[in-house]
Chain A
Amino acid sequence: MPTAVIDNIEIKQGGREGSPPPPPAGGDDSSRGPGGDASAVTRRAYFTGLTLALGGILMFFMALTSAYIVRKGLGENWQAIALPRILWLNTAVLLASSATIEIARRKLARSAMGAFRAWWWVTTTLGVAFLVGQLVAWREMVERGIYLAGSPASSFFYVLTASHGLHLVGGIVFLFYVAFRAWSRSSISQGTAAELAAVYWHFMDGLWVFLLLLVSLGQ
């Protein structure tokens, strides 16, 4: 490995003091230690990355939401649909999973591995249960003759629930990843990964509550 940094300017000694000496390291980075603690930097980068990803996802759903509001505002052919009652049960399940992932994360922070695993699996199961519940809701709507191409309100219902469901599938993959990855060989700890997963999970939870309010009150 060649030494990469070479000062390529000729250094001449002597001479009077000219311009004021530039400040050493400064600006908004003063909190960072010399060279930066690599694992702290990596951990922070993951949190920044996740926050940004959630920002991008939020924009995606805001686009759908504004399309929903605009389309409904046009009024034409808008038929309100009765939402399947199981959605409320699904919501309760998802809210419960947010609580359990929080418990799991705190157990891990206290290195209670057994309890962490148990609560983590409870969370994963609740997540899968939510998705199954959403499929049941779809099934019920199909039986009532409400299809994707049926009316604008039903189109939006399917698009919104499917988009959210896909993101939640991503969340479940994330949960499995945290549970099964060999963290000893990773640049971040399992605790950090669990924290990241929990943030994502809570976000998906909040997003669902928002979408449910949109399709139930927004009609």
Chain B
Amino acid sequence: MVTHEEGGAHAHHPPTGFIRKYIFSTDHKVIGIQYILLALLSVFVGMTLSLFMRIHLAWPDAHIPFFKDGIITPEQYLALMTMHGTIMVFMVLTTAPQSGFGNYFMPLQIGAADMAFPVLNMLSFWVTFVSLVVMLAAFFVTAGAPISGWTAYAPLSALGEIAGPGQGTGQTLWVIGLAIFCLASLLGALNFITTTIDLRARGLSLLRMPLTCWTWFVTAILGLLAFGVLLAACILLLLDRVAGTSFFIPGGLILSDKAVNHAGGSPLLWQHLFWFFGHPEVYIAILPGMGVASHVLSTFARKPVFGYRAMVFAVCGIGFLGFMVWGHHMFMSGMSPYSALAFSLLTMSIGVPSAIKTFNWLGTLWGGKIQFTSPMLFAIGFVSLFVTGGVTGLFLAQPAVDIALHDTPFVVAHFHIIMGVAAIFGIFAATYFWFSKMFGRMMSEPLGKIHFWFTFIGVYLIFMPMHFQGLFGQPRRIPDFSNYDFLPPMMPIQKFISVAAIVTISAQLIFLINFLYSLKWGKKAEMNPWRATTLEWTVPSPPPHDNFGGHVPVVYRGPYEFSVPGMTEDFLPQHLAPEKVAKS
């Protein structure tokens, strides 16, 4: 742990040179924006890959740019799928909500001048960047990107070139990139937890923290405990690939008429290690979205969060249970029915804290003076998607049902809605909500609303029909359906989904235009345009380098004091001393 910068509440001097200020900055706000830009770049790469897949699925003969003769081969399809999943899960859903917005707003919301270890923070970002470069490099090696899916199941992922195109150098780059990503995430998690524990402003007890901070905190704990396990798994996989070990490769394998010179490894061991990380990873993606949704719903319903303590306990409960349910990703692996039963019951028990959260969100909205701003719409959209995706989770938690549906688009729909799209809605809510604080200008509300409706309706049109495809028995990870007699009747649904995807993805340009236009020409933002209560709204937009000007804020109350009876204003900021509170 070699960091030079100090934590605590010192007046920091802003750096002057361009490189120290914008490239190798130790300012958590600059690093947060760097992470957000990295995620934005990645999300467009990931979306483009999905676009290729959707076009190919609906119109297999269509000419597609960037591919030899305009044709996507089955192997290339798998490579697209692998990289889409990998980039979206790691470079978008793990970075933007936590490392991006969390980095920017957690220190501000807890009244700290910066993260506990600013140099470490900078290192986390640049290590993440290196890992992205290494992963993307897989596209540019001779045989292309790996084809083993974002879960990289062994032995496919462990055997090397013999297992297919992309399984040589491409997969090696993938494993190395992921291992680097694990390191970056561990450093980031350590910084988040330390900052939350030690640098909170005076008076800001844990149970006065905004729910956003709570979710960033719990997410960081999950990251700290989970990424070390994935790192270990990646190292073992890499050794199987390059050093001839047999951790994950079973004996007696014959591939392309050649006997594989490995013996006695266990492919299931990879699945256990991967999913021990993989399930907490789902919550790493979604918990910050829950925090943002709670925060935004309360602000625009002008009401305190319903059941604040229950929300905190639910977040901790979800995080805790998240480590005990990894087996539900492996019902297909032939595990003992008794283990499957245990994993199934534990999985369904996550429904309890999830339902607590859902009812509390509804309770927060109930009877509120709701303002339908863009962030509010996306927060409500988040709740809707969380419920839709969560309910199918209860179906899939039953081993008997899962075995029928596991290899179908039903599962694709489930995890896209709950962990992909819901998390993205959290990111959008956060962007529309905090853009003014980050850049000093407001985003366009009309464009934001148009963007919301296109996206909200669009994602339902994309993913709802996939449930029916799944119930119909359509297999997943198959690029061409013409070889199956029972599938051609499903083509209209396939085309419908692809059209919906093209429209929805195109609608994201509205967001991009709004984002870029508002940076330069948006309406100048006041310091607290949403009349919100937490500490980030007490500093100028954008905040100065040391956040609070060397001054240590003092917190007098919880984070969601809206519409307090007997007050002249309908919000009571956390930092306002009791003697300054205006009463009517």
Q: Are B8 and A24 in contact (CB under 8 A)?
A: no
Q: How far is the CB of B189 from chain A (nearest CB, A)?
A: 7
Residues of B within 8 A of A52 (CB): 189-190, 193-194, 224
Specify the chain A residue showing the minimal Cβ separation from B584.
A15
Residues of B within 8 A of A41 (CB): 7-9, 198-199
**How far apart sit A167 and B554, CA to CA, in the bound complex (Å)?**
41
B488 lies within 8 A of chain A by Cβ: no
Q: Are A15 and B582 in contact (CB under 8 A)?
A: yes
**How far apart sit A155 and B246, CA to CA, in the bound complex (Å)?**
8
B550 lies within 8 A of chain A by Cβ: yes
B573 lies within 8 A of chain A by Cβ: yes
Q: A4-B547, A27-B203 are in contact. Are A76 and B193 (CB under 8 A)?
A: no
A165 lies within 8 A of chain B by Cβ: no
A8 lies within 8 A of chain B by Cβ: yes
In the complex, chain A residues 89-118 whose Cβ is within 8 Å of any chain B Cβ: none
Residues of A within 8 A of B1 (CB): 46, 49-50, 53, 174, 196
Residues of B within 8 A of A18 (CB): 564-567, 583
Q: Are B551 and A5 in contact (CB under 8 A)?
A: yes
- Point out which of A59, A70, A163, A186 has the most chain B C-beta atoms below 10 A from its C-beta: A59
A217 lies within 8 A of chain B by Cβ: no
Residues of B within 8 A of A62 (CB): 229
Q: Are B265 and A152 in contact (CB under 8 A)?
A: yes
In the complex, chain A residues 1-60 whose Cβ is within 8 Å of any chain B Cβ: 1-13, 15-19, 21-29, 32, 34-36, 38-39, 41-42, 44-46, 48-50, 52-53, 55-60
In the complex, chain B residues 3-24 whose Cβ is within 8 Å of any chain A Cβ: 4-11
Q: A10-B568, A49-B117 are in contact. Are A21 and B584 (CB under 8 A)?
A: no
Q: How far is the CB of A64 from chain B (nearest CB, A)?
A: 5
In the complex, chain A residues 120-170 whose Cβ is within 8 Å of any chain B Cβ: 148-149, 152, 155, 159, 163
Q: Are B198 and A45 in contact (CB under 8 A)?
A: yes
Q: A4-B551, A5-B575 are in contact. Are A149 and B243 (CB under 8 A)?
A: yes
**How far apart sit A28 and B538, CA to CA, in the bound complex (Å)?**
23
B528 lies within 8 A of chain A by Cβ: yes
Q: Are B538 and A7 in contact (CB under 8 A)?
A: yes
Q: Are A35 and B239 in contact (CB under 8 A)?
A: no
B580 interface neighbour in A6, A11, A148, Cβ under 8 Å: A11
Residues of B within 8 A of A67 (CB): 232-233, 236, 247, 269, 273
Q: Are B276 and A63 in contact (CB under 8 A)?
A: yes
A32 interface neighbour in B7, B190, B202, B264, Cβ under 8 Å: B202
Q: Are A59 and B203 in contact (CB under 8 A)?
A: no
Residues of B within 8 A of A4 (CB): 538-540, 543-544, 546-549, 551
B186 lies within 8 A of chain A by Cβ: yes
Q: A1-B550, A8-B538, A11-B580 are in contact. Are A77 and B236 (CB under 8 A)?
A: no
A187 lies within 8 A of chain B by Cβ: yes
Residues of A within 8 A of B582 (CB): 9-13, 15
**How far apart sit A37 and B59, CA to CA, in the bound complex (Å)?**
66
A177 lies within 8 A of chain B by Cβ: yes
Q: Are B552 and A24 in contact (CB under 8 A)?
A: no
Q: How far is the CB of B574 from chain A (nearest CB, A)?
A: 10
Q: How far is the CB of B575 from chain A (nearest CB, A)?
A: 7
A5 interface neighbour in B6, B231, B538, Cβ under 8 Å: B538
A202 lies within 8 A of chain B by Cβ: no
**How far apart sit A62 and B6, CA to CA, in the bound complex (Å)?**
32
Residues of B within 8 A of A152 (CB): 246-247, 264-265
Q: Are B566 and A7 in contact (CB under 8 A)?
A: no
Residues of A within 8 A of B7 (CB): 41-42, 45, 187
Stretch at the interface among B97-105, B205-213, B393-401, B505-513: B205-213
Binary flags per residue of B433-451, CB closer than 8 Å to A gives 1, else 0: 0000000000000000000
Q: Are A38 and B583 in contact (CB under 8 A)?
A: no
B228 interface neighbour in A48, A57, A76, Cβ under 8 Å: A57
Q: Are A155 and B239 in contact (CB under 8 A)?
A: yes
In the complex, chain A residues 194-208 whose Cβ is within 8 Å of any chain B Cβ: 196
Residues of A within 8 A of B555 (CB): 25
Q: A9-B582, A77-B263 are in contact. Are A55 and B225 (CB under 8 A)?
A: yes
Q: How far is the CB of A207 from chain B (nearest CB, A)?
A: 13
Q: How far is the CB of B158 from chain A (nearest CB, A)?
A: 13
Q: Are A22 and B239 in contact (CB under 8 A)?
A: no
Q: Are B584 and A25 in contact (CB under 8 A)?
A: no
Specify the chain B residue showing the minimal Cβ separation from A16.
B583
B245 lies within 8 A of chain A by Cβ: yes
Q: A11-B582, A15-B582, A15-B583 are in contact. Are A36 and B552 (CB under 8 A)?
A: yes
**How far apart sit A177 and B200, CA to CA, in the bound complex (Å)?**
29
B244 lies within 8 A of chain A by Cβ: yes
**How far apart sit A25 and B578, CA to CA, in the bound complex (Å)?**
11
Q: A36-B8, A45-B194 are in contact. Are A29 and B578 (CB under 8 A)?
A: no
B203 interface neighbour in A25, A48, A186, Cβ under 8 Å: A25
B557 lies within 8 A of chain A by Cβ: yes
Residues of B within 8 A of A29 (CB): 200, 202-205
Q: How far is the CB of A151 from chain B (nearest CB, A)?
A: 8
Q: How far is the CB of A45 from chain B (nearest CB, A)?
A: 4
Q: Are B269 and A70 in contact (CB under 8 A)?
A: yes
Q: Are A148 and B6 in contact (CB under 8 A)?
A: no
**How far apart sit A184 and B485, CA to CA, in the bound complex (Å)?**
78
Specify the chain A residue showing the minimal Cβ separation from B223.
A56
**How far apart sit A53 and B223, CA to CA, in the bound complex (Å)?**
12
* 10 nearest A-B residue pairs (beta carbon): A27-B205, A18-B566, A187-B6, A25-B203, A149-B244, A4-B549, A38-B8, A77-B264, A59-B228, A63-B232
Given contacts A45-B116, A59-B225, 5 further A-B contacts (CB under 8 A): A5-B548, A8-B528, A38-B9, A56-B225, A58-B228
Residues on B facing A (Cβ under 8 Å): 1-2, 4-11, 116-117, 186, 189-191, 193-195, 197-200, 202-208, 224-229, 231-233, 235-236, 239, 243-247, 251, 263-266, 269, 272-273, 276, 526-528, 537-540, 543-544, 546-557, 564-569, 573, 575-576, 578, 580, 582-584
What are 28 A-B contacts defined by CB distance under 8 Å? A5-B538, A5-B539, A6-B538, A10-B569, A12-B584, A17-B583, A26-B205, A27-B205, A27-B206, A27-B207, A35-B9, A36-B8, A38-B6, A41-B199, A42-B7, A44-B198, A45-B195, A45-B198, A52-B189, A52-B193, A53-B190, A55-B224, A63-B229, A63-B273, A148-B244, A159-B235, A163-B235, A187-B5
Residues on A facing B (Cβ under 8 Å): 1-13, 15-19, 21-29, 32, 34-36, 38-39, 41-42, 44-46, 48-50, 52-53, 55-64, 66-67, 70-71, 74, 76-78, 148-149, 152, 155, 159, 163, 173-174, 177, 186-187, 196
